[in-house]
């Protein structure tokens, strides 16, 4: 055992479980790619002010959870706690919004970092796949992203999740609601920190998970009652488009997201099999974020889906993904001459796109065949001195147990025939 271990609240991904994480990432990103979203990758750290301005200085993410550092040159940086601000920054820096064809549609995948109390489903290092549509105010984009996330989860076999939907209004109607909510919150028995948060961003208080706070919020004013006509019409169109696509959702009039940049459409995917950490993904519209970080007005919408949480949801439902075997063919050589021949054939099979492994370390026939079984390979190739003298390689179907000699030149065709 190593002297060192992974830091508290983090994890290592190792086979075979890591294959499930890769499959989840692929399934989510496949939906985004199918809808014209292009891949973007950003640094793991950014200027700390990018998140302070965009995510919000009153949020727990910025005040308590960001990992910050000072470089030798004196720059203040932060490990990215979320993906949207970084992706928008990258799009603005590259002037993608000036190249026509708005919206700019981007997807991403990576690791994110928050200093949180470590518990099941909540880690200090976590993985997400996200999608952002930048530069267009269109309810069809909001609906598209919700539908794509729903399709991603369904393609994985998940069924026991719910989609929660709400509207947070915009700069025209939210200030009126903000004042009404602040008036309500000032009359509650809240601690000083929560009252301070209520003065900066009262919607954040609605996201408080503490039971004693939630009890007091039962009669809080609802944003729905303060929406302007434009926001009401926009939200109804989003609802109609999702419904027309056959996607089932629930209206949650108290749903808010933990980031300050959200406007209008907000949504969450929750799974009741995960306990307190029920959210597996979510997102919404963030029409003012570009201006917050120094860019032009670019109405946008997006989501981020947690890979870690999705894997936990799959396990909660007992869903086992149909994962391709890491190795299709395993080659066992007995003797140096056979080793050189089979090693060349392994290379040939790999070049043909067939996942092939080799028995390393000179373990002998018995030990090597154990390795072949453990690898999950469908086919074992075996060659020794007698086989070489006869000019053949033994090809064994590990499922049926059938074995037959094959000439080296005909090996590729024989393997393909078994693998189908």
As annotated, the binding site for L-histidine includes 82-84, 114, 128, 132, 257, 261-262
199 φ, ψ (degrees, to nearest 5): -75, -30
Q: Are 276 and 209 in contact (CB under 8 A)?
A: yes
Q: Among 249, 168, 234, 233, which residue's Cα sits nearest to residue 201?
A: 168
Residues annotated within the binding site are 82-84, 114, 128, 132, 257, 261-262
Tokens 């894997």 — which residue? Answer: 311
Q: Are 307 and 348 in contact (CB under 8 A)?
A: no
Q: How many residues are recorded in the chain?
A: 420
Characterise 362 by phi-psi region: left (phi > 0), alpha (psi -120 to 50), beta (else): left
Task: Enter the tokens of residue 168.
Answer: 């947070």
Q: Are 208 and 188 in contact (CB under 8 A)?
A: no
310 φ, ψ (degrees, to nearest 5): -65, -40
120 φ, ψ (degrees, to nearest 5): -60, 125
């Amino acid at each position: 055992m190593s002297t060192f271990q992974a830091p508290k609240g983090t994890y290592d991904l190792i086979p075979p479980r890591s294959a499930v994480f890769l499959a989840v990432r692929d399934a989510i990103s496949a939906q985004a790619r199918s809808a014209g979203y292009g891949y973007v990758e950003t640094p793991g750290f950014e200027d700390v002010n990018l998140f302070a301005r965009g995510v919000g200085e009153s949020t727990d993410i910025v005040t308590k959870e960001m990992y910050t550092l000072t470089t030798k040159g004196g720059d203040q940086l932060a490990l990215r706690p979320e993906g949207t601000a970084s992706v928008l920054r990258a799009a603005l820096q590259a002037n993608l919004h000036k190249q026509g064809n708005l919206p700019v549609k981007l997807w991403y995948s990576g690791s994110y970092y928050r200093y949180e109390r470590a518990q099941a489903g909540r880690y200090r290092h976590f993985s997400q796949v996200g999608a952002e549509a930048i530069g267009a105010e269109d309810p069809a984009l909001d609906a598209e992203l919700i539908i794509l996330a729903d399709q991603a989860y369904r393609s994985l076999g998940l069924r026991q999740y719910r989609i929660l939907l709400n509207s947070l209004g915009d700069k025209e109607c939210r200030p009126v609601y903000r004042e009404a909510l602040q008036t309500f919150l000032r009359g509650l028995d809240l601690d000083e920190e929560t009252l301070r948060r209520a003065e900066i961003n009262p919607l954040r208080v609605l996201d408080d998970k503490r039971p004693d706070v939630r009890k007091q919020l039962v009669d809080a004013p609802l944003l729905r009652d303060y929406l302007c006509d434009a926001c009401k019409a926009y939200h109804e169109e989003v609802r109609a488009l999702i419904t027309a696509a056959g996607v089932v959702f629930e209206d949650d009039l108290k749903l808010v997201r933990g980031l300050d940049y959200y406007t209008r459409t907000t949504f969450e995917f929750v799974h009741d099999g995960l306990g307190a950490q029920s959210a597996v993904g979510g997102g919404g519209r963030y029409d003012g974020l570009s201006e917050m970080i120094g860019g032009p007005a670019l109405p946008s919408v997006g989501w981020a889906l947690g890979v870690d949480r999705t894997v936990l949801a799959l396990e909660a439902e007992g869903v086992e993904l149909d994962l391709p075997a890491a190795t299709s063919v395993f080659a066992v050589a007995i003797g140096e001459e056979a080793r050189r021949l089979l090693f060349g054939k392994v290379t040939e099979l790999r070049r043909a796109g067939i996942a092939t492994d080799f028995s390393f370390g000179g373990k002998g026939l018995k030990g090597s065949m154990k390795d072949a079984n453990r690898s999950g390979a469908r086919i074992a190739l075996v060659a020794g001195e007698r086989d070489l003298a006869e000019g053949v390689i033994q090809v064994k179907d590990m499922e049926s147990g059938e074995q037959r000699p094959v000439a080296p030149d005909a090996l590729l065709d024989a393997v393909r025939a078994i693998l189908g």
